[in-house]
């Protein structure tokens, strides 16, 4: 007899397919880079978070190989039992120095870093003030903590102040914001949020997944971008985007980092980052310490693409970073646009409801230092052609 739960789930899957919400997952047949191969075709890749082109960089590949030669492939244990190697310790020290933070601890992913941090800092009876557009991993971390969650309007200091004033019963308080918002590419006003945190004595946490390796001097992140060293208690980051590998980090207060090594559940109960990952991440930090060239190229590429799209008459929303949305409105138009781009050799994702509000569907252009100027020219030509064809631009 069929299990009734399985029948229900099958019906849910059917519903997703019928409503056009089913996630058809593309399979990449090449290394992650400025170009990728899909179905045997070479495509210009504007989908990845590989901001600096490190995912397939020869130095990163060589470092990962050395990591395997020295330590093997798997950690074999969680960090607190036997999973901490000298590579993990070195990476954490290097990241703390690079980011000018008191201390740093790494996790298996940015998602795991949020799930570790939020419930370790607050619990029942405490209050979290959370930007309404915060990432899913923050939302899940908040839920796990069982603290009261008060959402404030996106990037609104006034609404944050209002929410704080309206919340009179609490134990501990924590403000959490994304640093760069991944669907719009706008930056949180962290300097003003830090003023609010200082004024009310509230803990402050930023998730800088899309700012790590992108914002600040030589990619040191959002705290460096605003010169807020020592004023942001927790800076979550990821090693899976600009650093091109996989992993997460928490930099900031020494006390909090120490606490996370004692009470961060993914640190205690899920196996450590692998040796090749940790070794490649060490190399990535080293490369950013040696040169700002990749970060500069990323920003120059993003500027070329944003300005080019705007000149053609596209609406690029609130983008202030290498994430450039091309606002199209209806999900069907965004999907058709992305499909035509793909047919013309440009891979850029359509994003619609529920990831973004109804009527705000877009094609999201993720820029990278891995693109050459010829790549950018070719991509802009294709956008111009498809924009005219679908009546988006004149
Ligand atoms: C704001 C934010 N936080 C966390 C994550 C998760 O990072 P990771 O892929 O390292 O788990 C993402 C990834 O999309 C993100 O955008």
Per-residue pLDDT of 316-326, as tens digits, reads 999 999 999 99
Closest-lying ligand 1 atom to the alpha carbon of residue 111: 11
- Angle, helix 293-311 to helix 275-290, in steps of 10 degrees: 80
Active site residue 371: no
Contact between 234 and 121 under an 8 Å Cβ cutoff? The reply is: yes
Which pLDDT belongs to residue 394?
A: 78
Instruction: Compute the residue count for the chain.
Output: 394
- Taking CA 338 as the corner, what is the angle to CA 55 and CA 219, rounded to the nearest 5 degrees? 30
| CA atoms of 208 and 235, how far apart (whole Å) | 7
List the domains of the chain with CATH numbers: 21-50+292-389 (3.90.1150.10), 58-290 (3.40.640.10)
Q: How far is the CA of 68 from the centre of ligand 1 (A)?
A: 26
pTM of the complete model = 0.96
Q: How far is the CA of 110 from the centre of ligand 1 (A)?
A: 5
Q: What is the mean pLDDT of residues 34-56?
A: 98
DSSP 217: G
Say if ligand 1 is within 6 A of residue 50 CB. no
Contact between 148 and 126 under an 8 Å Cβ cutoff? The reply is: yes
The active-site residue out of 241, 319, 338, 371 is 241
**Structure tokens given for 276:** 């090749």
H-helix or E-strand spanning residue 49: none
The residues near 300 (Cβ < 8 Å, ≥ 6 apart) are none
Q: Could you give the strand order of the β-sheet that contains 323-329, starting from the edge strand earlier in sequence?
A: 323-329, 361-366, 349-351
The active-site residue out of 210, 225, 360, 371 is 210
Please give the distance of CA 68 from its chain centroid, rounded to a whole number: 27
Active site residue 182: yes
Q: What is the mean pLDDT of residues 107-133?
A: 98
Q: Per-residue pLDDT tens for 269-326?
A: 999 999 999 999 999 999 999 999 999 999 999 999 999 999 999 999 999 999 999 9
Q: Per-residue pLDDT tens for 350-368?
A: 999 888 999 999 999 999 9
Output the average pLDDT for the chain. 97
| CA atoms of 269 and 40, how far apart (whole Å) | 40
Q: What are phi and psi of 326, to 5 degrees?
A: -105, 105
Q: How far is the CA of 210 from the centre of ligand 1 (A)?
A: 8
Query: Residue 1's CB: how many other CB atoms inside 10 A?
Result: 3
Q: What are phi and psi of 253, to 5 degrees?
A: -55, 130
Which pLDDT belongs to residue 133?
A: 96
Best of 55, 137, 234 for a ligand 1 pocket test (most atoms within 8 Å of beta carbon): 137
DSSP string computed for 207-266: E-TTTTTTSSGGG--HHHHTT-TTT-SEEEEESSSTT-S--EEEEE-HHHHHHHHHH-HH
Q: How far is the CA of 384 from the centre of ligand 1 (A)?
A: 31
Q: Per-residue pLDDT tens for 161-188?
A: 999 999 999 999 999 999 999 999 999 9
Which pLDDT belongs to residue 1?
A: 66
Say yes or no to pLDDT of 20 above 80: no
Say if ligand 1 is within 6 A of residue 135 CB. yes
Closest-lying ligand 1 atom to the alpha carbon of residue 208: 1
Active site residue 241: yes
**Structure tokens given for 354:** 């529920």
């Amino acid at each position: 007899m069929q299990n009734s739960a399985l029948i229900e789930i099958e019906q849910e899957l059917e519903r997703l397919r019928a409503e056009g919400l089913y996630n058809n997952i593309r399979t990449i047949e090449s290394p992650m880079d400025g170009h990728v191969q899909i179905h045997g075709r070479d495509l210009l890749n504007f989908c990845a978070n590989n901001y600096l082109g490190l995912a397939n960089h020869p130095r990163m590949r060589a470092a990962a190989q050395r990591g395997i030669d020295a330590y093997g492939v798997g950690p074999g244990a969680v960090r607190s039992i036997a999973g901490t190697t000298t590579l993990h310790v070195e990476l954490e020290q290097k990241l703390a120095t690079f980011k000018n933070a008191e201390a740093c601890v790494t996790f298996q992913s940015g998602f795991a870093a949020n799930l570790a941090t939020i419930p370790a800092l607050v619990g029942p009876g405490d209050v979290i003030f959370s930007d309404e557009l915060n990432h899913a991993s923050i939302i899940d971390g908040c839920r796990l903590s069982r603290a009261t969650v008060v959402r404030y309007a996106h990037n609104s200091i006034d609404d944050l102040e209002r929410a704080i004033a309206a919340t009179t019963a609490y134990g501990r308080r924590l403000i959490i914001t994304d640093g760069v918002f991944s669907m719009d590419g706008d930056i949180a006003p962290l300097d003003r949020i830090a003023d609010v945190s200082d004024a009310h004595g509230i803990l402050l946490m930023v998730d800088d997944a899309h700012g790590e390796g992108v914002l600040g001097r030589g990619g040191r992140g959002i705290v460096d971008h605003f010169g807020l060293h020592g004023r942001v208690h927790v800076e979550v980051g990821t090693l899976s985007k600009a650093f091109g590998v996989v992993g997460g980090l928490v930099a900031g207060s020494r006390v909090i980092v120490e606490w996370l090594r004692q009470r961060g559940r993914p640190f205690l109960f899920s196996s450590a980052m692998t040796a090749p990952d940790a070794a490649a991440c060490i190399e990535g930090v080293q490369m950013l310490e040696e040169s700002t060239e990749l970060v500069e190229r990323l920003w120059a590429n993003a500027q070329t693409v944003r300005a080019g799209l705007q000149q053609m008459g596209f609406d690029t929303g609130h983008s202030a970073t290498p994430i450039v949305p091309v606002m199209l409105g209806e999900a069907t138009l965004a999907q058709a646009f992305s499909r035509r781009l793909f047919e013309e050799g440009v891979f850029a994702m359509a994003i619609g409801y529920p990831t973004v509000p109804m009527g705000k569907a877009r094609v999201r252009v993720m820029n990278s230092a891995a693109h050459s100027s010829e790549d950018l020219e070719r991509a802009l030509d294709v956008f111009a052609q498809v924009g005219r064809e679908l009546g988006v631009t004149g």
